[in-house]
Structure 1
Amino acid sequence: MFDFSPEFLFSVFNESPKEFREFGGKGLSPRPVEKADPSIYFYPSVMIYFFLNFVGYLINCGATRRSVIDGRVWLPDGNFISAGTSKSLTVPGLVPTLSTVRSFPLENKNLRRKFCYVVRVYRGARYLIRTTYYYGGVNGLDFDSPPVFDQIVDGTFWSVVNTTEDYGKGLSSYYEGVFEAKGNTMSVCVASNTYTVSDPFISSLEMLILGDSIYNTTKFDSHALHLVARHSFGHNGSIIRYPDDQFDRYWQPYEENVSVTASKKIPAVSGFWNIPPSKVFETALSTAQLESMELRWPPFSLPNSTYYIALYFADNSDSMSSNSRVIDMHINDVRYYSNLVLSSEGAAVFATRWPLGGLTKITLSPAANSNGSPLINAGEIFDVLRLGGRTHTRDVIALEELKNSLRNPPLDWNGDPCLPRDYTWTGVKCSEGERTRVISLNLTGMGLLGSLSPSIANLTALNGIWLSNNSLSGVIPDLSSLKLLEILHLQDNQLTGEIPSSLGEMKSLREL
């Protein structure tokens, strides 16, 4: 038997809510639509203030000034990252958030390095994080195709970024995940890997706070969600997003070779835990006869993993009597839910951990007591990611203070110092196991300027420090708290003052 742990949750509108791991980005046109609804663009200043200060951040990567786009404030990225170079694309007609990128140097194709945006957040808040990429030939004529690289949130590997297919179609690509803030900052990183052949880049970064009820059956203390697909079934217009979706989730149009039903009335959605926008209930996929309906959704093959699935329904047909449309649901011929009564109040069915792999078939069948054919309005599916952990807080604070005491710290000294394991900071070595500590620091010959912060003494798991052949100045701090320190190399610097007498009393120190 499958170990589903599905914890099915059924809610109606009236209830109160008590290979690589890669799916590819979702494609978007990099150019503005020709006929845009003016209501999308103009909002009172209070809405802009609310969106900027209470809901999250909209960061226009590579931009040098603040701008108002689609009625919302987008920030330049200079206050969130110190590495990389701002570049402007020469492609005509791009939407403003794609016309600039931040590009990061690929100095060694065999070296994995991460470059992180660090954003202040509310501890415990749940954030929708969306990264958008449009290459635009930024790496020059020698690289026609965009590079393939990784993206990371805090200490968790999020996904591979491969925008090649979308870019070949003239589209930008976006990736979306849901992560809970574990501290006062979150880092979102672009990272080169061994398969990266030119400079990684990013066009925009969005971090939006979600309501407490959104996806609340996920154990965000140990997991995160990576969006696989989100569709409004039967919808054939533009992507449904903000302001229709107050959290600016993207609902892609989706059509199948089945009937499309248009609704004349739209239900309120205040009772749905995930708060889908009303607009997704304007259309539905259905069958003309009292027969089963099969959907190949998502419309691509999935890697073997565990998935969060949410399906949304509302029967707004004037021709159906109340509670007369009842359906059974199967996913890949395994029962998902039985005897779901559809009404104008709406319903949602969730599975928090459902195993899938390959192509997926969703079958909706009229139940034995149903007088109506099946229908479905919308759906979301996420890969459930296990979090990668975090470096010990004491060590993170100590390294941040050491970084601040250096005038030219390594460019990749942002984000989690030790995690993911393949992306530790330059010169930093960390312990294995659940409690990740910094155990050595080797920055020999890196031309460092500045001083040694006394906080280095808070890295109490250190057994080796190599800082020779730099241009460090100031005094040597008291290192007596480093009980495990065996090796200390500070020669060939510009340090002044006396050598601390405590060094001679450190029993473990054997090389100085």
Structure 2
Amino acid sequence: MKLNVDGSAKGNPGFSGGGGICRKEDGSFIFAFSAGYGYGTNNSAELRAIYDGLELCLLKGINRIMVESDSKLVIAILVDIYCIASLRIDCGSRSYIDSNGISWEYDNLFIYPGNNSQVLTNTTIASQQMSTLRFFPDRNKNCYILPVFAYQKYLLRAGFYYGNYDGQSKPPTFDLQFDGNLWATVTTSLDEPSFFEVIMIPTRQNVSICLARTVDGGVPFISSLESLYLGMNMYGWMLGNQVLFKEYRLNFGATEMVRYPDDEYDRFWDPAIPTGYKTVTADYPSLNQSVDDDPPLTVIKTAIEAPSPSDKIILSFPVPQQRSIYVTLYFTEVRKFGPDQNRTFEVYLTGKYFSPVLSPRYQMCEEISWNADGWFNQTVGWFNVTLSPLNDSNLPPIISAMELFTVKEYQLESTSQDDYLCELLPILPQKISVLLWKAIKSAIPVEDVIQTKGIHLASQCVYCDGIAAQGPASESVDHVFITSPRARMLWILFGTIFGLGSLGGSTVINKLSWWWSSPSPRG
């Protein structure tokens, strides 16, 4: 069997739709479908058309199917998950594509409350995304709901620029949270933007990013919000239950920040030239070998080295107390050696011997990473890196870049689900809101809920009774509303009629997450 699909968007992004046709090997017709997908891009429409077509094939008992699409990007996404990229929101602005070709989305697609404003104070430091913001004067807590791929690695970044948007010259302080976890206490300034980053592996198909008013703070606001997809091989010493809080990402020897397009993941590399060290730049045009964390060439080519072959490089960094540390150091040799030259040194982290002898190689990037994982908990508030030359080294120690994170265990707090519901339910009709609340809170008397009360029933879904080849099925809320054959058919039918596609996810909360990420049901 062959499934041909296509998708398009008027304006790209704009109102989008897709469809497809399924045929037998001889070309005879099996079924066709079409659907409106609301606001989106041609690629997102084509992906959703593939999803809908495959789901229809499964419902019709077609288990072996060839899918054909004319989009190279969509095929690349399906073959290589790393192509499924990122979401960038310019808060308070409209959707647009910036000068680097990056798409920025309208934040009304991801949050309901709040007001938009432009800043009053201009600064050369502020980017286009810092010229607008969204502020929240009415509630103590307001949350963005971002769609993500569960169990994949993301860099989350939030940006704030007060710019005296309210004319009060009183920059506020408030809490920033993700999935119910405290991310940071944001202390804004009158004319300087600030950014906060974490790297995490979400355990469901959405992440809640919340701004919470503090007792003495003012009105919370936000200028930009990004979820940037990373390869799972990146930051490979990070454990699945950990969150990395960025403290420093330094490009030694540089004088300007490096980010996209030099860094394809749009990480911010801050310039750093510590006092007392020489700056050097590699004389090669490209790298012959990089590393899993994939720092950009422009970062690796600049470096600092000690004043003389016998001197050490000693770097000290203040860090939050009582947290573990994750650190990655990057090295390269910036020039070709003569026959009698040698650069070798050892690495010590806060006084403890860490690595074997290092001798960076020309035109190659090398890294060493360390995840303390509870063994090293800062109690003094400082983290030190020491590069100590060996006695036979006649060239001084060298370092190109460093990333330093503090580490906490990731916990999906129950409050994050309530954050999600508080954003979603107020815009729905009251009867639907009550029903959804009951479904998510397990307050509908289906079999698995009743059994938790000590009452045991026959394990069979009445909803599936009489459907051939289904057999007994446990009656749960997700089964009744989402995964049972009749429910799946209804999702496809009404999703097509109302321009929602079939919506992804196999649980009530996942369906709502996909629904929330689409602007069409909210007009």
TM > 0.5: yes
1:213 aligns with 2:233: yes
1:146 aligns with 2:171: yes
Q: 1:317 to 1:118 in 2, by over 3 A?
A: same
Distance 2:450 2:165 in 1: 47
Q: CA deviation at 1:301?
A: 4.9
* Alignment-derived partner of residue 219 in structure 2: 199
Cα displacement string for residues 168-208 of structure 1 (whole angstroms, at most 9, x for unaligned residues): xx321111111112111112121222232x10000001111
TM-score, with normalisation over the residues of structure 2?
0.63
Q: CA deviation at 1:267?
A: 4.8
1:86 aligns with 2:106: no
- Correspondence list, 1:101-180, <5 A: 101-105=133-137, 113-141=140-168, 144-164=169-189, 167=190, 170-180=191-201
Distance 2:259 2:320 in 1: 25
In 2, are the aligned partners of 1:81 and 1:118 still within 8 Å (CA)? yes
- Correspondence list, 1:111-510, <5 A: 113-141=140-168, 144-164=169-189, 167=190, 170-196=191-217, 198-220=218-240, 222-236=241-255, 238-256=256-274, 257-268=276-287, 271-298=290-317, 300-321=318-339, 324-344=342-362, 345-353=364-372, 354-356=376-378, 357-391=380-414, 400=421, 406-407=426-427, 449-450=430-431, 453-458=434-439
Q: 1:200 to 1:321 in 2, by over 3 A?
A: farther
Residue 108 of structure 2 aligns to a residue in which SS? coil
Structure number with the higher helix fraction is 2
Distance 2:426 2:222 in 1: 27
Distance 2:426 2:303 in 1: 59
Q: CA deviation at 1:355?
A: 3.3
Alignment-mate amino acid for residue 276 of structure 1: P
Distance 1:280 1:403 in 2: 41
Q: Structure 2: which 5+ residue stretches go unaligned?
A: 1-71, 454-523
Distance 2:397 2:183 in 1: 36
Question: What is the aligned counterpart of 2:105 among 54, 75, 97?
Answer: 75
Cα displacement string for residues 115-171 of structure 1 (whole angstroms, at most 9, x for unaligned residues): 111121112211111111000113442xx232111111113221111233xx4xx32
Alignment-mate amino acid for residue 407 of structure 2: V
Distance 1:81 1:457 in 2: 22
Residue 381 of structure 1 aligns to a residue in which SS? strand
More deviation in 148-157 or 198-207?
A: 148-157
Alignment-mate amino acid for residue 217 of structure 1: W
Distance 2:212 2:150 in 1: 25
Number of corresponding residues: 369
- Correspondence list, 1:3-22, <5 A: none
In 1, are the aligned partners of 2:306 and 2:313 still within 8 Å (CA)? no
Alignment-mate amino acid for residue 314 of structure 2: L
Aligned-pair Cα RMSD in Å? 3.4
TM-score, with normalisation over the residues of structure 1?
0.65
In 2, are the aligned partners of 1:157 and 1:388 still within 8 Å (CA)? no
Distance 2:305 2:425 in 1: 64
In 2, are the aligned partners of 1:460 and 1:484 still within 8 Å (CA)? no
Q: CA deviation at 1:290?
A: 1.4
Residue 325 of structure 1 aligns to a residue in which SS? coil
Alignment-mate amino acid for residue 142 of structure 2: F
Q: CA deviation at 1:288?
A: 3.3
In 2, are the aligned partners of 1:269 and 1:276 still within 8 Å (CA)? no
Cα displacement string for residues 48-90 of structure 1 (whole angstroms, at most 9, x for unaligned residues): x999983111110011343434321111111010011111222
Distance 2:108 2:340 in 1: 56
Distance 1:180 1:309 in 2: 18
Residue 337 of structure 1 aligns to a residue in which SS? coil
Distance 1:74 1:452 in 2: 31
Q: CA deviation at 1:390?
A: 3.9
Q: 1:312 to 1:391 in 2, by over 3 A?
A: same
Q: Structure 1: which 5+ residue stretches go unaligned?
A: 1-44, 108-112, 410-448, 463-476, 486-512
In 1, are the aligned partners of 2:122 and 2:163 still within 8 Å (CA)? no
**Percent same amino acid at aligned positions?**
24
Residue 295 of structure 1 aligns to a residue in which SS? strand
Q: CA deviation at 1:98?
A: 1.1
In 1, are the aligned partners of 2:341 and 2:394 still within 8 Å (CA)? no
Distance 1:95 1:403 in 2: 29
Alignment-mate amino acid for residue 382 of structure 1: F
Alignment-mate amino acid for residue 121 of structure 1: V
Q: CA deviation at 1:333?
A: 2.1
* Alignment-derived partner of residue 94 in structure 2: 64
In 2, are the aligned partners of 1:62 and 1:86 still within 8 Å (CA)? yes
Q: CA deviation at 1:362?
A: 2.0
In 2, are the aligned partners of 1:261 and 1:285 still within 8 Å (CA)? yes
Distance 1:131 1:269 in 2: 34
In 1, are the aligned partners of 2:330 and 2:367 still within 8 Å (CA)? yes
Distance 2:341 2:286 in 1: 15
Distance 1:322 1:450 in 2: 82
More deviation in 175-184 or 61-70?
A: 61-70
Residue 64 of structure 1 aligns to a residue in which SS? coil
Distance 1:460 1:280 in 2: 49
* Alignment-derived partner of residue 497 in structure 1: none
Question: What is the aligned counterpart of 2:127 among 91, 95, 111?
Answer: 95
Alignment-mate amino acid for residue 377 of structure 2: P
* Alignment-derived partner of residue 55 in structure 1: 85
Q: CA deviation at 1:459?
A: 5.8
Distance 1:139 1:52 in 2: 41
Q: 1:301 to 1:68 in 2, by over 3 A?
A: closer
